Structure 1
Amino acid sequence: MAVQPLSAAELQRWIEQKDDRAVLLDVRSAKEFAEWKIQTDALPSINIPLAQFEDASLEAWKNVPADRKIAVICRRGRTAMIVAKILDAQGFDVYCLNKGLQEWSQFYHGVTVTEADDWKLIQVLRMGKGCLSYLLVSGGEALVCDPGRHVEEYLQLAEREGAKIRYVVDTHLHADHISGGQHLARAAGAEYLISAVEMEGAELAYVPLEQHDVIRVGAVAVKVLRVPTPGHTPGSTSFLIADRYLLSGDTVFVGGLGRPDLGGKAHEWAQKLYETVFGAIARLADDVVVLPAHFSDLTREAGAAGYVGAPLQEIRANNDLMRTADPAQFTELVAGRVGAAPPNYAEIVQVNRGLLAADGDKQLELETGPNRCAVKHTS
């Protein structure tokens, strides 16, 4: 036998099919594995670091299921190949994830949220990065919300849906990943919209969201309402589609609220987040479905339909912060739960403002690592 290459798309098929012969073997350190790994409950996952395989006396390969096909995973693919060759020599059916978690972090997977006679909403999951973006299609036109930097994914998806991208919007100035918003708009001949508050000092062309309370997409005119939701950032904006689906950016997640500290004003922005939660969000009906810009735990936050989202009623019931009506208590709780900052966030913000140039390799380096944009709830 020989080590077989495994692409991110092939691995996703294993996960979707819940392949009962497959096992994920992550060979990074226990600390790295705990911080960032492939999230799935469809396949078993084990962590045995490289050092244990390199010590022949430990016979670490004996701790790997011999009757399964093994997908070996590391950060970039090099360490995984070393282990894969050891397992191959022992007769295992072994695969190596091409370029490791860096490739997984660039893999996109679309899931239909809802489809009516005259419009369709697709959630695009960036599996390894925890990022979520959206394509709204109606009457041959499309709006893209919070696109990642791999703009060809959206151009191809729109083409498959028979639509021309007319609007590209960012809910806020992202700090954990590089936005594809301006680049995609240029490539598609579309308008790029983001709040002017987010782009102070920026050197990128954009249309201020403040100029559009309503955005109409398609011949049937699906109504997209701009809903100012500051707190995670001062100009954070959510979008209410057809009075039913809230593209909430990093304001409200299935499992928490947007962290307010990345601008260095945790308490001030937490107060704004309070006003958003008990003002703009409180006015929305319980059956409005929240569709955020990120997920933290796909196994918990994705529903049976495969997309990440939940009705506001469910989120309100499960999120203690959304039931904390005292402003001072809310502010202290939110500011006190922020945790570690997203990796390289200060540089990413500068790239997204057009103030720092980064080629493909640098962008990949900046984005490597987990998403950390949420303040978690406790119940």
Structure 2
Amino acid sequence: MSVTVKTAQQIFDQVLNKEELFILDVRNKDDFKDWKIEGKQIDHFNIPYFELIDGVEEIMDKIPSDKEIIVVCAKEGSSKMVAEMLSEQGLTASYLKGGMKSWSEYLYKTEVYSDDKMKVYQFVRVGKGCLSYMIVSGEEALIVDPSRFTDIYKKAAKDEGVNITHIVDSHLHADHISGGRILAEETGANYYLMKSEGAIFDFKALENYNKIDFEHVSLEVIAVKTPGHTPGSVSFFVNEKVLFSGDTIFVSGLGRPDLGGKVREWAKDLYDTVYNKVSLITDDVIVLPAHYADFEEEVNVAGYIGEILGEIRKQNEMMSNQSESDFVEHVAQSASSETPPNFEEIIAINRGVEEAEEEKQQELEIGPNRCAVHHTN
């Protein structure tokens, strides 16, 4: 039998369609435990590639003979060889093109919201749990929290017949490299970031803006300063319809304020955000976060990651009827010792303090995001 090559998009489509999959992951056990392709209909078997160098005979009783075996490794080479071994044993085998690196980098676009003033698109980075957005209005577009794959946003804008004129980052990202500065250079758009995040390149400081207007439309973007995840975290409240919450509020939890080593101090800021700022926003507003933890749990029936604020309030015990002291204590107890992989280097790159070639950026980003603290029932 011949071996089939599968792209990250093809595998994601199978996950999205809730197809039953069997994945043979030949990375080392720690990497597999830390981060893998996930889904309720996926069965995994993990064995390091070096244990299969002499053949796959010893694992034949551990893998099904009546379904396709999708072999996964870090970058493709090992999985291709194992898939060929399985094929020689008469099994239907395929491998993930580009390995988990390609899974980490795949994004797909879906429409979130549309009215007579704007359209909102969400870009889901399925292997990282990262979310970015494009707001289209008139002949212009604003990009929220762009990834480093800037061509995706430029193509989306071209498809809409609009120009990217504004780019905003809700905070200095710790788990992935922002495309904001590069995208601004490529498009001539204004790039906005909080000055308090410590970036050393040229940008427009969000501290100086209460709103960002699109030139020819009545589209208002209000930056609600919401420290919590990092000292310069913000959210963006658009047309009183959509709240881009950054890493402050997730569908399934709140942002983690412990990455700066000031968990109790920043937890108080997060409390102020939730109880004195977000509390003024109505229940019917759509919340669109910068990350998600579990795609199948958090994707809604419309096919995007997001939820109305009222529903998030119902599900999240920490967003109502909590004293500041109880809130801070709960968040402090939930603080994790696990940080996003390579987060200090990634933060340095996003500040402009360090530079990295594409291959280095790929290596730094591989792995899960760990930016949420879950407080849901």
Answer yes or no: is 1:88 the counterpart of 2:57. Answer: no
Pick the aligned partner of 2:339 from 341, 365, 368.
Answer: 341
Specify the code of the residue in structure 1 equivalent to 2:251.
V
Specify the code of the residue in structure 2 equivalent to 1:161.
E
Answer yes or no: is 1:258 the counterpart of 2:287. Answer: no
Deviation of residue 310 (structure 1)?
1.0
Answer yes or no: is 1:304 the counterpart of 2:301. Answer: yes
Answer yes or no: is 1:235 the counterpart of 2:232. Answer: yes
1:72 match: secondary structure: strand
Specify the code of the residue in structure 2 equivalent to 1:157.
A
Residues 72 and 80, structure 1, Cα contact 8 Å, conserved in 2: yes
Q: Paired residue for 2:370? A: 372
Q: Paired residue for 1:63? A: 62
After superposition, give the CA deviation of every residue in 1:220-272 in whole Å (9 maximum; x if it has no partner): 32221111111111221101112121100000011111111111211111111
How does 1:95-114 map onto structure 2 within 5 Å? 95-114=94-113
Q: Quick one: distance in 1 between partners of 2:127 and 2:174?
A: 16
2:370 match: secondary structure: coil
Answer yes or no: is 1:359 the counterpart of 2:357. Answer: yes
Deviation of residue 347 (structure 1)?
0.8
Deviation of residue 332 (structure 1)?
1.6
Deviation of residue 218 (structure 1)?
5.8
Specify the code of the residue in structure 2 equivalent to 1:126.
R
Q: Paired residue for 1:330? A: 327
Q: Quick one: distance in 1 between partners of 2:159 and 2:17?
A: 24
Residues 252 and 376, structure 2, Cα contact 8 Å, conserved in 1: no
Q: Paired residue for 1:6? A: 6
Residues 140 and 218, structure 1, Cα contact 8 Å, conserved in 2: no
Deviation of residue 17 (structure 1)?
4.2
Q: Quick one: distance in 2 between partners of 1:268 and 1:4?
A: 53
Deviation of residue 5 (structure 1)?
1.7
2:291 match: secondary structure: coil
Q: Paired residue for 1:194? A: 193
Specify the code of the residue in structure 1 equivalent to 2:154.
L
Residues 250 and 374, structure 1, Cα contact 8 Å, conserved in 2: yes
Q: Paired residue for 1:283? A: 280
CA separation of 1:55 and 1:206: change in aligned 2, threshold 3 A: same
Deviation of residue 141 (structure 1)?
0.3
Q: Quick one: distance in 2 between partners of 1:35 and 1:237?
A: 29
Residues 237 and 244, structure 2, Cα contact 8 Å, conserved in 1: yes
Q: Paired residue for 1:134? A: 133
How does 1:67-78 map onto structure 2 within 5 Å? 67-78=66-77
Q: Quick one: distance in 1 between partners of 2:321 and 2:64?
A: 48
Q: Quick one: distance in 1 between partners of 2:345 and 2:181?
A: 17
Specify the code of the residue in structure 2 equivalent to 1:274.
Y
Q: Quick one: distance in 1 between partners of 2:277 and 2:237?
A: 11
Q: Paired residue for 2:78? A: 79
Deviation of residue 52 (structure 1)?
6.2
Deviation of residue 58 (structure 1)?
6.3
Q: Paired residue for 1:205? A: 202
Residues 133 and 148, structure 1, Cα contact 8 Å, conserved in 2: yes
Answer yes or no: is 1:49 the counterpart of 2:31. Answer: no
Specify the code of the residue in structure 1 equivalent to 2:189.
A
Residues 140 and 163, structure 2, Cα contact 8 Å, conserved in 1: yes
**Normalising to structure 1: TM-score of the pair?**
0.94
Residues 287 and 306, structure 2, Cα contact 8 Å, conserved in 1: yes
Mark the runs of 5 or more structure 1 residues left unpaired by the alignment: none
Deviation of residue 31 (structure 1)?
4.1
Q: Paired residue for 2:220? A: 223
Specify the code of the residue in structure 2 equivalent to 1:357.
E
Mark the runs of 5 or more structure 2 residues left unpaired by the alignment: none
Deviation of residue 207 (structure 1)?
0.3
Q: Quick one: distance in 2 between partners of 1:295 and 1:168?
A: 21
Q: Quick one: distance in 1 between partners of 2:288 and 2:234?
A: 13
Answer yes or no: is 1:245 the counterpart of 2:260. Answer: no
Identity %: 43
After superposition, give the CA deviation of every residue in 1:102-121 in whole Å (9 maximum; x if it has no partner): 11111110110012234210
Q: Quick one: distance in 2 between partners of 1:105 and 1:44?
A: 18
Specify the code of the residue in structure 1 equivalent to 2:290.
A
Residues 278 and 325, structure 1, Cα contact 8 Å, conserved in 2: no
Deviation of residue 143 (structure 1)?
0.1
Residues 56 and 82, structure 2, Cα contact 8 Å, conserved in 1: no
> Which deviates more from structure 2 when the two are superposed, residues 80-89 or residues 265-274?
80-89
Q: Quick one: distance in 2 between partners of 1:72 and 1:324?
A: 48
After superposition, give the CA deviation of every residue in 1:273-299 in whole Å (9 maximum; x if it has no partner): 111111111111111111100011111
Deviation of residue 69 (structure 1)?
2.3
Specify the code of the residue in structure 2 equivalent to 1:91.
G
Q: Quick one: distance in 2 between partners of 1:235 and 1:19?
A: 41
What's the Cα RMSD here?
A: 1.9
Deviation of residue 198 (structure 1)?
1.4
1:105 match: secondary structure: helix
> Which deviates more from structure 2 when the two are superposed, residues 210-219 or residues 119-128?
210-219
1:377 match: secondary structure: coil
Q: Paired residue for 2:23? A: 24
Residues 342 and 373, structure 1, Cα contact 8 Å, conserved in 2: yes
Q: What number of residue pairs does the alignment pair up?
A: 375
